[in-house]
């Protein structure tokens, strides 16, 4: 693949100025390279595309059966790219500003019940060997902190050591945040660390000494655990545990601003996907305490 020079400069900016992860950069590269090929086939260049080219590109995505969410992601990549071009004086206008994003169906985050999490923790405690240590530590830490899987697997071997009550996490865009730790999470981390081979750098070690466990490897451990706990493996993932952490906190009285800080969201609008939990809690509050609701119950 030959990367168009302006696209390459944009990707370098993401890495240097925003601290974008490798996966994020690869995602932008894939989206922008796809648009560059579309432009090339029509005798145009990607950094000079007009709004008609952007509109035709999105129409072609829809015609090829791409989901609305994937279309929206590609449009977002184009917008970020053109804002970069304007900032660097490479063009004066943004061809994406008059292009509407496809309407997305509202989707609620998938999460486990508290009873299901308890069942997973109990089964993880029964698992033997390295897989059991990884399962228990991963569950305890994810459910106690709401970390992203990349943040979890990037934890240093010394993380959660000692009696520190909080953990400093470096998240998306290099943003740092502090999350509280539970005794159970620290104990599980200590048990995993006690079985480390010499020279391990990561709390969740991979097959090769000094390397972190892969997402695929960790996901496989979770799938095996789900089967043991009689939970559909398709329902369990690190992101589902992150959603469970957030949903259960709100259900027990946490506010959105605090949750935003714990999850590391740059915009509270992202955190607001969990308001369905608040709605359910308020409905239960009204049903339990409103005079009319009590009268209906008595009838």
- Confidence at residue 222, expressed as pLDDT on a 0 to 100 scale: 95
- Confidence at residue 246, expressed as pLDDT on a 0 to 100 scale: 92
- Confidence at residue 4, expressed as pLDDT on a 0 to 100 scale: 85
Does the predicted model carry a pTM greater than 0.75?
no
CATH, range 119-254: 1.10.443.10
Pairwise CA distance, residues 137 & 185, whole Å:
6
Pairwise CA distance, residues 183 & 85, whole Å:
49
pLDDT tens, position by position, 54-67: 999 999 998 998 88
pLDDT tens, position by position, 236-279: 999 999 999 999 998 888 888 999 999 998 888 788 888 766 67
Provide the H-helix boundaries in the chain: 5-17, 22-41, 51-63, 68-87, 114-126, 129-145, 149-153, 183-194, 215-228, 238-251, 256-263, 268-271, 275-289, 291-298
Query: Burial of 246 by CB count in 10 Å (0-12 exposed, 13-18 middle, 19+ buried)?
Result: buried
Task: Write out residues in the chain with pLDDT < 70, as ranges.
Answer: 1-2, 104-108, 276-278, 280-282, 285, 292-299
- Confidence at residue 281, expressed as pLDDT on a 0 to 100 scale: 63
- Confidence at residue 238, expressed as pLDDT on a 0 to 100 scale: 95
- Confidence at residue 122, expressed as pLDDT on a 0 to 100 scale: 96
- Confidence at residue 108, expressed as pLDDT on a 0 to 100 scale: 67
- If phi > 0 it is left, if psi is from -120 to 50 it is alpha, else beta; for residue 264 that is left
Catalytic positions, written as ranges: 148, 172, 239, 242, 265, 274
């Amino acid at each position: 693949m030959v990367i168009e020079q302006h696209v390459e400069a944009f990707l370098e900016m993401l890495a240097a100025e925003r601290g974008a992860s490798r996966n994020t950069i690869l995602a932008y590269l894939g989206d922008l390279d796809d648009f560059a090929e579309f432009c090339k086939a029509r005798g145009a260049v990607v950094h000079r595309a007009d709004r008609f080219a952007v509109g035709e590109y999105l129409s072609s995505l829809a015609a090829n059966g791409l989901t609305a969410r994937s279309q929206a992601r590609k449009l977002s990549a184009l917008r970020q790219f053109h804002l970069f071009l304007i900032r660097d004086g490479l063009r004066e206008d943004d061809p994406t500003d008059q292009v509407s994003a496809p309407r997305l169906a509202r989707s609620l985050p998938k999460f486990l019940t508290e009873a299901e999490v308890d069942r997973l923790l109990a089964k993880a405690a029964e698992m033997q060997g390295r897989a059991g240590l990884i399962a228990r530590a991963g569950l305890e830490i994810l459910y106690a902190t709401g970390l992203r899987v990349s943040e979890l697997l990037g934890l240093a071997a010394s993380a959660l050591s000692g009696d520190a009550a909080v953990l400093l996490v470096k998240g998306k865009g290099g943003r740092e945040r502090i999350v509280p730790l539970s005794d159970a999470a620290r104990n599980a981390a200590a048990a995993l660390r006690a079985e480390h081979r010499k020279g391990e750098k990561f709390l969740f070690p991979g097959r090769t000494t000094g390397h972190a466990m892969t997402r695929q490897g960790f996901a496989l451990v979770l799938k095996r655990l789900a089967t043991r706990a009689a939970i559909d493996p398709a329902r369990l993932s690190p992101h589902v545990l992150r959603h469970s952490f957030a949903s259960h906190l709100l259900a027990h009285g946490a506010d959105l601003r605090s949750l935003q800080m714990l999850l590391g969201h740059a915009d509270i609008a992202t955190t607001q996907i969990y308001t369905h939990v608040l709605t359910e809690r308020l409905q239960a509050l009204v049903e339990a305490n409103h005079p009319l609701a009590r009268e209906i119950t008595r009838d």
